[in-house]
């Protein structure tokens, strides 16, 4: 390239990067030759010389005992896609990192300028590796016990409350929560918000723990045991959508009509929820927004700009669908109390299970 233009590599570099002292004529000439030759500076060499690779890592943290695949959740896929776009917009590319034994070694194999970790769990190996290297880090969701870093998060507490209020407005009096033991800030928020909402409204908390993976299966189990217990709930909220779908199936199997006898809702919107029968009411988290903001925040850090805010909140919204549709009867009476009364006066709500 340098020879082709009849100048030194220095001049080429200066011409192409708008640096140095060059007359416009030379600059243009070099650029012209570069264009003709289809010359592109070697990215690796640039990275080595410049000390920045223009590569960002995107990792999904996860607990060892909950081996769910990335692909299980539309949430992650959407976030990832948005993050890729945002990165590209700023001239960065995204490297995918898995949180397994091999994932850790990726930081050795690739020089990333910074990392986004989704739903971090304290002590996670990827998190530790990032810290050890003192890489700029943005998390989506906070790191429980260490909320000082840079993060983008939904306001899950507010979100949970608005969902619970929605269920109450639809006539629910005995709202149960299905969730996992809190490891991420998200599940902790959900749990606390639920408990405080229960305290505020005088509802007795009913919590069913999901174990055995965040799948339809575990939701089915948890919902079944809730619905079969004494004093079963008249609404079930799951902190993830797949178990909520399982709850739908469980209700069906027990002959409990949704939404007439039981309201069901889940967090995270998905095709699966939309396609369910009845369609699943969801707490929308706007993962595309989260992915975008996380990358933009990270880019600020990488490029040495002090971000205006260290923490960003993305609003949630209740996406009401068939699974929590208020029955006609309830619709005519004023919201909370009256709806609850109408519900209470209904005759025994259990039918014989269609299959036991």
Residues that bind a copy of itself (CB under 8 A): 38, 40-45, 47-48, 53-55, 69-72, 74, 76-78, 80-81, 84-85, 88-89, 91-98, 100, 102-103, 105-111, 132, 216, 242, 245, 248, 270-277
Q: CA-CA-CA-CA torsion for 41, 45, 49, 50, nearest 10 degrees?
A: 60
Q: Which is nearer to a copy of itself, 274 or 344 (CB)?
A: 274
Q: Which is nearer to a copy of itself, 40 or 355 (CB)?
A: 40
Cα 330 to Cα 312: distance, rounded to the nearest angstrom: 38
CB 12, CB 2: distance < 8 Å: yes
Residues with Cβ within 8 Å of residue 121, at least 6 apart in sequence: 61, 62, 63, 127, 144, 183, 184
Residues 51-110 that bind DNA (CB under 7 A): 51
Q: Which DSSP helix (H) or strand (E) runs through 172?
A: none
CA within 13 Å, CB half, 237: 31
Q: How far is the CB of 53 from DNA (least distance, A)?
A: 12
Residue 154 pairs in a beta bridge with 314
CB 216, CB 242: distance < 8 Å: yes
Contact between 1 and DNA by CB under 7 A: the answer reads yes
CB 59, CB 126: distance < 8 Å: yes
Q: Residue 12 touches which of DNA, a copy of itself, none (CB < 5 to 8 A by kind)?
A: DNA
Q: CA-CA-CA-CA torsion for 25, 27, 30, 35, nearest 10 degrees?
A: -110
Q: How far is the CB of 44 from a copy of itself (least distance, A)?
A: 5
Count of residues touching DNA (by CB under 7 A): 28
Contact between 341 and DNA by CB under 7 A: the answer reads no
The pair of three-digit structure tokens given for residue 67, joined into one six-digit string = 């081996």
Closest by CA to 290, choosing from 161, 103, 156, is 156
Q: Which is nearer to DNA, 50 or 347 (CB)?
A: 50
Cα 79 to Cα 138: distance, rounded to the nearest angstrom: 14
Closest by CA to 313, choosing from 276, 286, 339, is 286
Cα 123 to Cα 166: distance, rounded to the nearest angstrom: 36
Among 3, 35, 38, 50, binds DNA (CB under 7 A): 50
Contact between 23 and DNA by CB under 7 A: the answer reads yes
Cα 75 to Cα 57: distance, rounded to the nearest angstrom: 18
Among 48, 93, 110, 257, binds DNA (CB under 7 A): 48
Q: Which is nearer to a copy of itself, 232 or 273 (CB)?
A: 273
Among 31, 41, 98, 333, binds DNA (CB under 7 A): 41
Q: Residue 231 touches which of a copy of itself, DNA, none (CB < 5 to 8 A by kind)?
A: none
Q: Residue 162 touches which of a copy of itself, DNA, none (CB < 5 to 8 A by kind)?
A: none
**Span from 14-22, 122-130, 165-173, 323-331 in contact with DNA (CB under 7 A):** 14-22
Q: Residue 16 touches which of DNA, a copy of itself, none (CB < 5 to 8 A by kind)?
A: DNA
Q: How far is the CB of 68 from a copy of itself (least distance, A)?
A: 11
Q: Which is nearer to DNA, 40 or 309 (CB)?
A: 40
Q: Residue 36 touches which of DNA, a copy of itself, none (CB < 5 to 8 A by kind)?
A: none
Q: Which DSSP helix (H) or strand (E) runs through 281?
A: strand 281-284
Contact between 308 and DNA by CB under 7 A: the answer reads no
Site residues, DNA (CB under 7 A) = 1, 6-14, 16-17, 19-23, 26, 40-42, 44-46, 48-51
């Amino acid at each position: 390239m340098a020879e082709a233009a009849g100048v030194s590599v220095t001049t080429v570099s200066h011409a192409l990067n708008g640096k140095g002292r060059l007359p416009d004529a030379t600059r243009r000439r070099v650029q012209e030759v570069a264009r003709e030759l289809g010359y592109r500076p070697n990215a690796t060499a640039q990275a080595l010389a410049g000390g920045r690779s223009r590569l960002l890592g995107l990792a999904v943290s996860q607990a060892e005992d909950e081996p769910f695949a990335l692909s299980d959740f539309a949430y992650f896929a959407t976030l990832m896609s948005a993050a890729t776009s945002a990165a590209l917009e700023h001239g960065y590319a995204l490297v995918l990192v898995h949180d397994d034994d091999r994932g850790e070694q990726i930081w050795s194999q690739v020089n990333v300028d910074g990392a986004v970790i989704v739903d971090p769990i304290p002590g996670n190996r990827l998190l530790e590796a990032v810290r050890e290297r003192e890489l700029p880090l943005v998390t989506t969701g906070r790191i429980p016990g260490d909320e000082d870093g840079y993060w983008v998060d939904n306001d899950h507490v507010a979100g949970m409350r608005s969902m619970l209020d929605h269920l109450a407005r639809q006539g629910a009096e005995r709202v149960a929560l299905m969730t996992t033991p809190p490891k991420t800030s998200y599940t902790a928020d959900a749990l606390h918000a639920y408990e405080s909402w229960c305290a505020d409204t005088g509802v007795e908390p009913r919590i069913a723990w999901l174990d055995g993976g965040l799948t339809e299966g575990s939701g089915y189990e948890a919902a079944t045991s809730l619905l079969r217990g004494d004093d079963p709930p008249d609404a079930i909220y799951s902190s993830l959508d797949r178990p909520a779908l399982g709850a739908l199936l469980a209700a069906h199997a027990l002959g409990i009509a949704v939404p007439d006898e039981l309201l069901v809702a889940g967090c995270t919107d998905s095709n699966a929820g939309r396609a369910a029968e009845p369609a699943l009411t969801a707490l929308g988290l706007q993962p595309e927004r989260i992915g975008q903001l996380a990358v933009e925040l990270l880019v600020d850090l990488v490029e040495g700009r002090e971000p205006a805010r260290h923490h960003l909140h993305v609003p949630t919204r209740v996406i009401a669908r068939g699974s929590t549709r208020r029955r006609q009867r309830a619709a005519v009476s004023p919201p909370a109390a009256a709806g609850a009364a109408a519900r209470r006066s209904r005759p025994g709500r259990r039918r014989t299970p269609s299959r036991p």
